[in-house]
Structure 1
């Protein structure tokens, strides 16, 4: 969501005086406003000489927030939208088409898919594989939010090279890789507010049709969303929880309105009876449309993808026998 200063041109009531009033209460963005007690803010405005104007500004912000929510849609509207827009993007795991079969065709546009797994299970490598496939096979842009300094062009080169020329020896051989890398837009993101800024700018760019009509954004990856959200949940206060829900809402809004497949990664934490479960708690559990658990057998190269949640499939379905080496060899073989 937007910083307040970016709203002034479109909404004159959110002028410099109103922004200064909000700043005195630590409110600099729509997210800050959402976390603040509106009744307290109105009471404070009543004490100012420009109280009427300030309260009009508060109402303007409430209107903006209300406009962000999707209109009510009938079942027929949703069906027509799914037929027209919501296609699947192949994950492109060469020789292992069972991943696409498991997901009903691949990553679904218009939906948020969450890939859950312990450390070193291959989540980032899967994200890089999917990004390379969408950029190469679907000729589409991929927006990649990297929260852990884990993005690897060498790994992308490995995946692209494996599906075309095995070795890039000259300039001509590099052209397929250059085209793929040109379509993957990577943003290093290290806190939740920076993520909001990047997503807001992406929404502006998508609305303004900045991207070429023949090569549009089709995949948004956040690796990993839990790295940004976990720090703000400390202390058990309501602010972190509200920001987490705002992130989920914005990601799903981008997916639905702009026909994107959104993929986020999440780590696991200890659960009851020593079992592991996805991090971020019960509230976040309702956010993803699809939840997939990625696990690797101890002392083995065998990976297993298991469905934890899917809108059209029963949970518990799994596919194994994918060699982890095929996912990680791009990193180990890169210089």
Structure 2
């Protein structure tokens, strides 16, 4: 579904009537996009003060249901085949063994998810990829939900990748740092606003060559709005997934998100965010780290073009 005006839904849904549209307009909501970037809990609280609260709440839930239904993130076999035929390339991660495992690196047009428990090295892998892309290939947007972004660590990695020392490294460091656009993002509404702004920028700025989007971590932004009987959290999650896949596909961008692990059946760890989110990433990789030897491991959990189970170890100095 396109991010159209709410009034366009009036003919198909009785609950979305003139009164409901007037209520939404009073809160600056005129489109589906406006609904997504508002705190729906506050919207419901505002509706509770009005005499027609029950009907307004039904209208809000109807909108969330429409969003969830229309923003399905799954790809069927034909879509995957067409995606494979498109002229898309790979972005090197900067780690040769990692690139070999992925048959060239991160696939442009794909959402790649790095999953693993705390301190498994997900953020370090993000730094490595961001440093390599920013230094050699183009712009990176790094969305940081946990104050984990480290310019010092990026500097160390760029210095190592460049193989330079002393004053010579400045010729690589300054352009690379300028190529990384960092945003601190602490809730899902801020994430949606930034993604929508990126979408507008990419449409209007033909010279803006964004190559990589990193969200570290996606689960810390989505998990707080999930749970309970309210459909809002699930609709927001699906909408985030839809936007990431749309940005990746339409603009040949590689998207990397990180996700933590939770306890599954029998206490076996599994990626967080449930079955619906599981279908959003094209590629799902499990990351581990051996702190004693400073080696990292990557295991393929899901990939559209290769069998699961492949793995490799590598170092990030």
> Aligned partners of 1:229 and 1:23: how far apart in 2?
27
Equivalences for residues 97-108 of structure 1 within 5 A: 97-108=96-107
Alpha carbons of 1:87 and 1:299: their partners in 2 closer, same or farther (altered >3 Å)?
A: same
Equivalences for residues 68-79 of structure 1 within 5 A: 75=78
Alignment of 1:22 onto 2:15:
no
SS in 1 for 2:266: helix
Alignment of 1:260 onto 2:240:
no
Scaled by the length of structure 1, what TM-score is found?
0.73
SS in 2 for 1:86: coil
Alignment of 1:203 onto 2:199:
yes
Q: Indicate conservation of the 8 Å contact 1:112/1:252, yes or no.
A: yes
Question: Which 5+ residue runs of structure 1 have no aligned equivalent?
Answer: 9-16, 38-43, 48-57, 328-335
Alignment of 1:270 onto 2:270:
no
Q: Indicate conservation of the 8 Å contact 2:134/2:179, yes or no.
A: yes
* Alpha-carbon shift at residue 165 of structure 1 (Å): 4.2
Q: Indicate conservation of the 8 Å contact 1:90/1:134, yes or no.
A: yes
Greater shift, 294-303 or 264-273, is seen at: 294-303
> Aligned partners of 1:282 and 1:81: how far apart in 2?
23
Alignment of 1:220 onto 2:213:
yes
* Corresponding residue to 1:154 among 152, 155, 166: 152
> Aligned partners of 2:81 and 2:303: how far apart in 1?
17
Deviations 1:40-81 (A, max 9, x none): xxxx7xx9xxxxxxxxxx99xx9xx97x899x9995x97676
The residue number in structure 2 matching 1:117 is 116
SS in 2 for 1:222: strand
* Alpha-carbon shift at residue 27 of structure 1 (Å): 4.8
Q: Indicate conservation of the 8 Å contact 2:286/2:300, yes or no.
A: yes
Alpha carbons of 1:20 and 1:115: their partners in 2 closer, same or farther (altered >3 Å)?
A: same
SS in 2 for 1:163: helix
The residue number in structure 2 matching 1:175 is 171
Q: Indicate conservation of the 8 Å contact 2:217/2:259, yes or no.
A: yes
* Corresponding residue to 2:94 among 70, 84, 92: 92
> Aligned partners of 1:28 and 1:80: how far apart in 2?
35
Q: Indicate conservation of the 8 Å contact 1:115/1:265, yes or no.
A: yes
* Alpha-carbon shift at residue 276 of structure 1 (Å): 0.7
Equivalences for residues 42-61 of structure 1 within 5 A: none
* Alpha-carbon shift at residue 85 of structure 1 (Å): 3.0
Q: Indicate conservation of the 8 Å contact 2:301/2:308, yes or no.
A: yes
Q: Indicate conservation of the 8 Å contact 1:205/1:211, yes or no.
A: no
> Aligned partners of 2:142 and 2:195: how far apart in 1?
11
Alignment of 1:136 onto 2:138:
no
Question: Which 5+ residue runs of structure 2 have no aligned equivalent?
Answer: 7-18, 45-51, 56-61
Q: Indicate conservation of the 8 Å contact 1:217/1:260, yes or no.
A: yes
The residue number in structure 2 matching 1:40 is none
SS in 1 for 2:288: strand
> Aligned partners of 1:237 and 1:136: how far apart in 2?
44
Alignment of 1:187 onto 2:177:
no
* Alpha-carbon shift at residue 173 of structure 1 (Å): 3.4
